[in-house]
Amino acid sequence: MEERRLALSQPQANTNLRLDGKVALVTGGGSGIGQAIAMKFAAHGATVRVLDISLGAGEETCRQITSAGGKASACACDVTDQKLVKETFRQLAANGPVSILVNNAGVSHIGTVESTTEADFDRVFRVNVKGYYNCMQAAVASMKANGGGVILNMASIAGSVGLADRFAYSMSKAAVISMTYSAARDCLAYKIRCNCISPARVHTPFVDNYLRNTYPGREREMFEKLSQAQPIGRMAEPGEVASLALFLCSDEASFITGVDYPIDGGFFNLHG
């Protein structure tokens, strides 16, 4: 009994967060959150397949991974093209079945229901909703044939709370959350877990570009204002989202499916 108490009191290396032997496919892995997830997964043993509409961006992520001793390859893919997605997944599966899919590729949009054009609405839906559906459909068939897997969808707090000037974007992320719940239910019998993450504002190149284009000369002021919108007083860093993604895709989270995880600095529950 004394030996057992001693063993329990000693810090243990968490091997369950390792992804050794697993192939993880990350869409939109050429920058921002997707890049951080790809690098985090590779650092924890996964072989990473980076899909991005920009082959150059995907290859740069892979260069950083391989220079650090990880394993990664890049592939150009437009997730809105179902035929291309299916063929890309088929080709990748020939080099080893994909056991983890992270649906991250997406676009943002600023506008109300009145100012959002039909073209804007269709574009956001095509990438953020149909793109996720295309990749999930292609991945599930392969995962079923190989005894299971994990799907992680990147949603947003915009899908659960009312944000000003985010009509189309909020619509798309609410759809992602609902798709996650539905897929999780349908995939239970096939040992496929499906969850999603809903971040608040994350400091990515998109934010910097938005501030530069929208508030020239006032970037620092507006950055602070946007940061303070989170009760915790700052934006999240991509690596923090990647750490949650790692946990949810690891064996440590083997009992978790059908859940939307906010990572929002208190925005959802503490926003006053």
Distance from the Cα of residue 61 to its chain's centroid: 15
Catalytic residue (one of 132, 169, 190, 261): 169
- Give the list of residues 6+ apart from residue 231 with CB closer than 8 angstroms, or none: 265, 266, 267, 270, 271, 272
On the 0-12 / 13-18 / 19+ scale of CB atoms within 10 A, 146 is middle
The yes-or-no answer on residue 169 being catalytic is yes
Rounded Cα–Cα distance for residues 243 and 258 (Å): 19
Neighbours of 143 (CB within 10 A): 24
Q: What is the C-alpha radius of gyration for the chain, rounded to an integer number of angstroms?
A: 19
Is residue 50's pLDDT more than 80? yes
Please state the domain extents for the chain: 19-200+238-265, 202-235
Pairing outcome for strands 100-103 and 149-154:
parallel
Angle value at C-alpha 23, between 139 and 151, nearest 5 degrees: 40
Confidence at residue 5, expressed as pLDDT on a 0 to 100 scale: 46
The mean of the pLDDT values for the chain is 91
Q: How confident is the model at residue 9 (pLDDT cuts 50, 70, 90)?
A: very low
- Give the list of residues 6+ apart from residue 122 with CB closer than 8 angstroms, or none: none
Q: How confident is the model at residue 15 (pLDDT cuts 50, 70, 90)?
A: low
Contact 157, 262 (CB under 8 A): yes
Max mean pLDDT among 3-7, 98-102, 203-207 falls in 98-102
Tell me the pLDDT tens digit for each residue of 131-188. 999 999 999 999 999 999 999 999 999 999 988 899 999 999 999 999 999 999 999 9
The reported pTM is 0.90
CATH code: domain 19-200+238-265 is: 3.40.50.720
Tell me the pLDDT tens digit for each residue of 192-227. 999 999 998 888 887 888 788 888 888 888 888 888
On the 0-12 / 13-18 / 19+ scale of CB atoms within 10 A, 113 is exposed
- Give the list of residues 6+ apart from residue 206 with CB closer than 8 angstroms, or none: 32, 108
